[in-house]
Structure 1
Amino acid sequence: MALTWDPKKYVQFGDFRNRPFFDLTSRILATEPQNVVDLGCGPGNLTATLAERWPGAQVQGLDSSAEMVTAANESDHPGNLSFEVSDVAEWTPGQDLDVVVTNAVLQWVPGHQEMLAAWLQALKPGAWFAMQVPGNFGADSHRLMRELAESEQWRERLDGVLRHRDAVSEPEEYLEIFLAAGMRADGWETTYQQVLQGENPVLNWVRGTGLRPVLGALSPEEAATFEAEYSAQLDEAYPATQYGTVFPFRRIFVVGQKL
């Protein structure tokens, strides 16, 4: 099932969504790369920071969403940056690539571990690869969504829509893929304690990403019914405080350079 994306909804929590990207790319020590690719560039605002960081490089942002690429192309971006619609699952690295970044994308691609291994093997010596995926599929936000989708009321409509249990690997498994491909690599995880503001903040967060397969599979009326029940469960799991709603979010990172 092809997902549709709302660029405005995706960047609603920009400060929180952007931070892992900068934590990831700060570990890339390339100085004067010539060719840089951002796989799953979304609306392109973060890809633009790569073009600004390396003004001598040709930076390309790829995304499978035409909506995201349209938003990226309509944005004010550096002249050394271009965007193109492309399915990550069909992409292969060229021998001219110096830096590859993929931020919060691979979790959408079943079997991406084998694909990742092939990409890393194909990189030229000295090239950098940086990846980040969410590691919160066991969190209440996803567990409750999954359990509701598997309930008697929704099982028939949502069977097979969510694949949270095997969406990503653990950090040590990704690190092993990098090392086996001849990379010097650094892997780590971070759980951000995000304090969200406003009404139904966790629901609004997952509307931009993890809930999209459910919304895409249901009619507007069904989606509203699902959201109402799910939102009530989220309110219990993530109670609001006088400071806002604390929403822990675990992320998994690996950065490596080909030896």
Structure 2
Amino acid sequence: MSRQVSGTWDPAQYGVFGDERARPFFELLGRVDVEKPRRIVDLGCGSGELTATLRGRWPDADIEAIDSSPEMIAAAPEVEGIRFSVGDVESWRPGGSVDLIVSNAVLQWVPTHAELIPEWIGALSPGGRLAFQVPGNFDAPSHRLLRELCSSERWRGLVGDALRVDPVMDPGGYLDLLARRGCFVDAWETTYAQVLQGEDPVLEWVKGTALRPVLSRLGEGEAQEFLNEFGALLREAYPSTPYGTVFPFRRIFVVAGRDGP
């Protein structure tokens, strides 16, 4: 979903390949063992379609959902029992106990998330859970080539510092962070061998996420020049096949909490 980053988020662009983007969310929630939560918070809810599915599983819960993008929140559905609002994940505070905190593809945009996670764990009710997933593909060609292009002579003066490096941990890092604080931790990773359809599908994918902070710094003509150059690099790195373009996508998942009082 949309994150703590400057620039306008486009719900329609983010929704391209919506089924593929939703798959990790459902894998994450499949490992959450909270039966009857009273209060759920979705941090970085995007346009809210996935948040709405929480209502189907836990119809009696009070659900709060925030996202930093006004454009995303404006596109959220009206669902009884869910309050959507514009808010910053980094400055959010629980304001009382929470039974389930969900963060779906958000924390890679929050530099301080390793400091915030213990605070969120401390706000969980007995038996409560923190469940989050983040992309783990920052060393993949899609991101490595983007960093190289941004640091090239043509672009570094405009966008050279738009991207951060190593913004997330591996599953073992999150396990250590949480287990040292007395938490139950279920941490794992999955690499989806996604087959994307369409013209320049990998470029279309990253236009919805990783490219947002870069494009926000460029004028219309510069942005198109950058996309043309980056698109050519991606076509070479991810060649088309008769059945589509294979885009391996690694995700890191964590479900954690304290079962005692």
Aligned 8 A contact 2:121 2:257 in 1: no
2:26 to 7, 11, 22: 22
Distance 1:93 1:170 in 2: 26
Distance 1:145 1:101 in 2: 29
Aligned 8 A contact 2:67 2:86 in 1: yes
Distance 1:158 1:79 in 2: 42
Structure 2 residue matching 1:98: 3-state secondary structure? strand
Distance 1:121 1:59 in 2: 19
Distance 1:35 1:223 in 2: 42
Aligned 8 A contact 1:52 1:78 in 2: no
Aligned 8 A contact 2:39 2:99 in 1: yes
Distance 2:230 2:179 in 1: 41
Aligned 8 A contact 1:121 1:181 in 2: no
1:13 counterpart residue number = 17
Structure 2 residue matching 1:127: 3-state secondary structure? strand
Distance 1:252 1:93 in 2: 24
Structure 1 length normalisation: TM-score? Answer: 0.96
CA-to-aligned-CA distance 1:194-246 (integer Å, 9 cap, x gap): 00000000000000000111100111111111111110010000000000000
Aligned 8 A contact 1:149 1:155 in 2: yes
2:51 counterpart residue number = 47
Aligned 8 A contact 1:121 1:182 in 2: no
1:33 counterpart residue number = 37
Distance 1:7 1:256 in 2: 30
Structure 2 length normalisation: TM-score? Answer: 0.95
How big is the shift at 1:15? 0.8
CA-to-aligned-CA distance 1:105-161 (integer Å, 9 cap, x gap): 000011211111222133232111101000000000000010000001111111210
CA-to-aligned-CA distance 1:11-43 (integer Å, 9 cap, x gap): 111110000000001111111111001100000
1:158 counterpart residue number = 159
Distance 1:42 1:14 in 2: 12
Structure 1 residue matching 2:45: 3-state secondary structure? coil
Q: Find out whether 1:208 has 2:208 as its counterpart.
A: yes
Aligned 8 A contact 1:120 1:181 in 2: no
How big is the shift at 1:66? 0.5
Unaligned runs of 5+ in 1: none
1:254 counterpart residue number = 254
Unaligned runs of 5+ in 2: none
2:175 counterpart residue number = 175
The letter of the residue matching 2:69 is: S
Q: Find out whether 1:90 has 2:94 as its counterpart.
A: no
The letter of the residue matching 1:57 is: A
Structure 2 residue matching 1:126: 3-state secondary structure? strand
Name the stretch that deviates more: 37-46 or 4-13.
Answer: 4-13
Aligned 8 A contact 2:98 2:123 in 1: no
How big is the shift at 1:91? 0.7
The letter of the residue matching 2:85 is: E
The letter of the residue matching 1:169 is: M
1:143 counterpart residue number = 144
Aligned 8 A contact 2:120 2:130 in 1: no
Distance 1:48 1:121 in 2: 26
Distance 2:65 2:121 in 1: 19
Aligned 8 A contact 1:131 1:255 in 2: yes
Name the stretch that deviates more: 94-103 or 60-69.
Answer: 94-103
Aligned 8 A contact 2:133 2:252 in 1: yes
**Aligned residue pair count:** 255
> What root-mean-square deviation, in Å, do the aligned CA atoms of Structure 1 and Structure 2 show?
1.1
Distance 2:222 2:167 in 1: 25
Aligned 8 A contact 1:95 1:124 in 2: no
Aligned 8 A contact 1:37 1:101 in 2: yes
Distance 1:203 1:142 in 2: 11
